[in-house]
A = this chain, B = another copy of it.
């Protein structure tokens, strides 16, 4: 059923607008909010009073006067509750306990030796139980769990396919919600990373962002109009299997010449020469020590990264691209060739407002973004399109 309008909706829209205005701009008074949003002062007062009662907003004493009565400064109460953000990787399970504004309170990690779903689920539960136990006493307690997984996820939180874990159709959300009775948000690792970078990394005030996670494969999270774009069944962004060589190397996906064969860790297997190592951290150390083969390998991969990025730029026309994942640590050698290829190959108009950056959150982007999803789900988010 479509969304209809009534007074409750009006209130929801305005309350959501006020709450998120306060969240994004600390140090606001009621009067400033009224100016910024266009809402009447009385409306702001009323809705702020409700938000105060709900403990989502706090009054933080008087601010500076500008020639009249001092304003009462309002703060978003990020400690009204907590969320857990978790990332499931092939070899690790990492998680953070965050407040409602994404600040990290605790961080934990657990090595994974087995990938079968039952044992991973056990480990997840243990980790979550631990983090939830560590949560400080807050008004709402732990209000959500967000998980980023390396695979396709549908809108019901079912992991449809995660090749690196050999998972298929795993009802992860359902099982976790049953165990913890807290709303659970499952998302693709790259989508969560995109949200992390959008909100806590390079992406402030950006409306169209592309997050490219290069590690054991390549995945992309696509932010359109400030929101995650998930495609028709919830799993767009599988750009790693974009073909960049029509008759290239066969890929396990059934196609040929896929981008991730040339620009992710999978490229090590195809390297033209003998490599001094076949794991990224080691290869980075060797490159830093001046090893020519390691450096050249990264440079070639940088060029191929650039080729795939060019395709994405032409298709999505983003304002900002953020490169994340394990390979982003090799920035020093990847970036030059990558930027050069993009500069050479991109259409002139696309270049004008485009920036390509490396992740500032590093390997934490995914779990922070996953936690943020959970927080946003709790806070709600209603608005109008004209």
List A residues at the B interface (Cβ < 8 Å). Answer: 1-7, 9-14, 17, 36-39, 152, 160-161, 207-208, 220, 222, 224, 229-233, 235-246, 253-256, 262, 304, 307, 310-312, 314-319, 344-350, 352-353, 381-386
Contact of B382 with A233 in the complex, beta carbons under 8 Å: no
**30 A-B contact pairs sorted by A residue (CB < 8 Å):** A3-B383, A4-B13, A4-B17, A5-B11, A5-B13, A5-B14, A5-B384, A6-B10, A152-B349, A161-B349, A222-B315, A231-B318, A232-B318, A236-B316, A236-B317, A238-B347, A240-B314, A241-B310, A241-B314, A242-B311, A243-B310, A244-B244, A245-B246, A246-B262, A246-B307, A253-B347, A254-B344, A255-B346, A382-B384, A383-B385
Please name all residues of chain B whose beta carbon is closer than 8 Å to the beta carbon of A246 when the two chains form the complex: 244-245, 262, 304, 307
Contact of B1 with A5 in the complex, beta carbons under 8 Å: no
Report the nearest B residue to A380, measured CB to CB.
B386
Report the nearest B residue to A1, measured CB to CB.
B38
Report the nearest B residue to A7, measured CB to CB.
B10
Please name all residues of chain B whose beta carbon is closer than 8 Å to the beta carbon of A314 when the two chains form the complex: 238-242
| Shortest distance between the CB of A38 and any CB in chain B (Å) | 5
Candidates B239, B256, B311, B385; contact of A243 at CB < 8 Å = B311
Known: A232-B318, A233-B352. 20 other contacts (CB 8 A): A2-B17, A2-B38, A5-B12, A5-B13, A5-B384, A152-B349, A208-B231, A220-B315, A231-B316, A232-B317, A236-B317, A237-B315, A241-B347, A243-B345, A254-B345, A254-B346, A311-B311, A315-B315, A382-B386, A383-B384
Contact of B3 with A255 in the complex, beta carbons under 8 Å: no
Please name all residues of chain B whose beta carbon is closer than 8 Å to the beta carbon of A345 when the two chains form the complex: 243, 253-256
Distance in angstroms between the alpha carbons of A365 and B206 in the assembled complex: 33
Copies in the complex: 2
Report the nearest B residue to A225, measured CB to CB.
B229
Report the nearest B residue to A343, measured CB to CB.
B254
Distance in angstroms between the alpha carbons of A386 and B381 in the assembled complex: 6
Contact of B310 with A255 in the complex, beta carbons under 8 Å: yes
| Shortest distance between the CB of A350 and any CB in chain B (Å) | 7
Distance in angstroms between the alpha carbons of A13 and B345 in the assembled complex: 44
| Shortest distance between the CB of A229 and any CB in chain B (Å) | 6
Candidates B13, B160, B232, B253; contact of A319 at CB < 8 Å = B232
Of A9, A207, A318, the most chain B CB neighbours within 10 A belong to A9
Candidates B230, B243, B304, B352; contact of A307 at CB < 8 Å = B243
| Shortest distance between the CB of A314 and any CB in chain B (Å) | 5
| Shortest distance between the CB of A174 and any CB in chain B (Å) | 19
